[in-house]
């Protein structure tokens, strides 16, 4: 794999920012936390530098950074509200926070995630924000699959499920909620403890932050549960904590699925589209988890009025 030419300069930015924050930086080599087409992230000591996706414009990112600055108890505040530019990419600087331990699923902070979401959804946007980008990201994943998946049975199944979704969930129409503050891409990788290692949990990654349908933020855990990838007790912990914190995305009691059906289906399709695209690129069969996502899309395509699943009934 060709080394990313952005990494050396991004690491230098992180190092310079770390040194400006403390005179006693425990210097060492920068650590690459992520290196994907949509984000490159490096850490030096207690400072993180993130290069955002090439299609993120300053006017898109600036209000989201301003919102994070004004909501420090919910979102990790950036180290400065003005992004830098490096190799044609916008770069932001952040304090380091301890992530969720992926090797200890029993310690997954489902209650903390749900409570933060409920508080976020109940908080008025502190600055004018664009629409939450979740549906647009799902549409992008499906567009990539259309380009890669000619002749693939799995791709055809995923695309049929996509076609059953309402226009707003496919980013073909405005979202029906234009006021509720949403994260836009909630999963456990979007939580860190700050100050590290034992501070309170905060949400990170504001690239998709905006106003929209709050159920979208519950859609990925709901989709995992519906596909049998998230145990029922973990889903219940998450949903109960969200309700206990007064989250507006679902009713306070009773069946949550009328509110979650569309987001859960859309995020199932997004996940399946990414999985099939990756498998096609690697010229390999789908693994067990990827096949479960495609199977869920097959059920959705056959009964478009609601997500057909065994676990959520």
162 and 52 both lie in a single domain: no
The pLDDT, as a whole number, for residue 245 is 98
The pLDDT, as a whole number, for residue 107 is 85
Half-sphere CA count of 113, side-chain side, radius 13 A: 26
Gyration radius from the chain CA atoms: 20
pTM: 0.94
Alpha helices of 123-175 — where are they, by DSSP H?
134-148, 153-163
- Cα-based distances in Å from 48 to 11, 51, 299: 9, 10, 42
Question: How many domains, in total, are found in the chain?
Answer: 2
DSSP E strand boundaries for the chain: 31-36, 39-44, 47-52, 84-86, 89-95, 98-99, 181-182, 191-193, 201-203, 210-211
Residue 157 included in any domain: yes
The pLDDT, as a whole number, for residue 23 is 66
Q: Dump pLDDT digits (tens) for 104-129.
A: 878 899 999 999 999 999 999 999 99
How far is Cα 80 from Cα 86, in angstroms, rounded to an integer? 16
273 and 138 both lie in a single domain: yes
Full residue range of the structural domain in which residue 142 is found: 105-302
How far is Cα 146 from Cα 269, in angstroms, rounded to an integer? 13
How far is Cα 311 from Cα 308, in angstroms, rounded to an integer? 9
> Domain ends where: 40, 62, 95?
95
42 and 183 both lie in a single domain: no
137 and 51 both lie in a single domain: no
Sign of the C-alpha dihedral, residues 201, 207, 210, 215?
A: negative
114 and 223 both lie in a single domain: yes
Residue 308 included in any domain: no
Residue 311 included in any domain: no
> Are the C-beta atoms of residues 59 and 153 closer than 8 Å to each other?
no
> Are the C-beta atoms of residues 242 and 118 closer than 8 Å to each other?
yes
206 and 246 both lie in a single domain: yes
122 and 59 both lie in a single domain: no
Residue 34 included in any domain: yes
Q: Dump pLDDT digits (tens) for 23-67.
A: 666 777 789 999 998 899 999 999 999 999 998 999 999 999 999
The pLDDT, as a whole number, for residue 304 is 54
89 and 121 both lie in a single domain: no
88 and 113 both lie in a single domain: no
For residue 269, give the CATH number of its domain.
Answer: 3.90.1200.10
298 and 247 both lie in a single domain: yes
The pLDDT, as a whole number, for residue 104 is 87
The pLDDT, as a whole number, for residue 4 is 86
The pLDDT, as a whole number, for residue 309 is 43
How far is Cα 311 from Cα 169, in angstroms, rounded to an integer? 23
Residues of the chain with pLDDT under 70: 1-2, 23-25, 304-313
The pLDDT, as a whole number, for residue 311 is 43
């Amino acid at each position: 794999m060709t080394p990313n030419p952005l990494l050396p300069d991004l690491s230098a930015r992180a190092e310079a920012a770390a040194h400006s924050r403390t005179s006693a930086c425990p210097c060492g080599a920068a650590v690459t936390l992520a290196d994907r087409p949509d984000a490159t992230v490096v850490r030096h000591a207690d400072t993180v530098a993130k290069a955002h996706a090439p299609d993120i414009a300053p006017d898109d990112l600036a209000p989201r950074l301003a919102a994070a600055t004004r909501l420090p108890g919910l979102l990790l505040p950036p180290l400065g509200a003005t992004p830098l530019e490096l190799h044609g990419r916008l770069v932001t600087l952040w304090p380091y926070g301890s992530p969720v331990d992926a090797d200890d699923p029993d310690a997954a902070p489902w209650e903390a995630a749900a409570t933060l979401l409920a508080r976020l959804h109940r908080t008025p946007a502190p600055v004018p924000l664009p629409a939450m980008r979740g549906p647009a990201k799902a549409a992008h994943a499906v567009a990539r699959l259309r380009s890669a998946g000619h002749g693939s049975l799995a791709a055809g199944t995923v695309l049929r499920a996509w076609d059953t979704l309402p226009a707003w969930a496919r980013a073909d129409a405005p979202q029906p909620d234009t006021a509720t503050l949403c994260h836009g891409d909630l999963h456990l990788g979007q939580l860190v403890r700050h100050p590290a290692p034992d501070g309170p949990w905060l949400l990170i990654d504001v690239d998709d932050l905006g106003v929209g349908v709050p159920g979208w933020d519950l859609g990925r855990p709901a989709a995992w549960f519906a596909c049998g990838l998230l145990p029922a007790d973990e889903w219940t912990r998450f949903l109960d904590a969200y309700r206990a914190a007064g989250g507006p995305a679902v009713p306070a009691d009773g069946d949550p699925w009328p509110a979650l059906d569309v987001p859960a289906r859309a995020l199932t399709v997004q996940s399946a589209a990414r999985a099939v695209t990756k498998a096609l690129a690697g010229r390999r069969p789908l693994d067990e988890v990827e096949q479960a996502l495609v199977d869920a899309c097959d059920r959705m395509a056959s009964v478009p009025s609601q997500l057909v699943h065994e676990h959520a009934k």
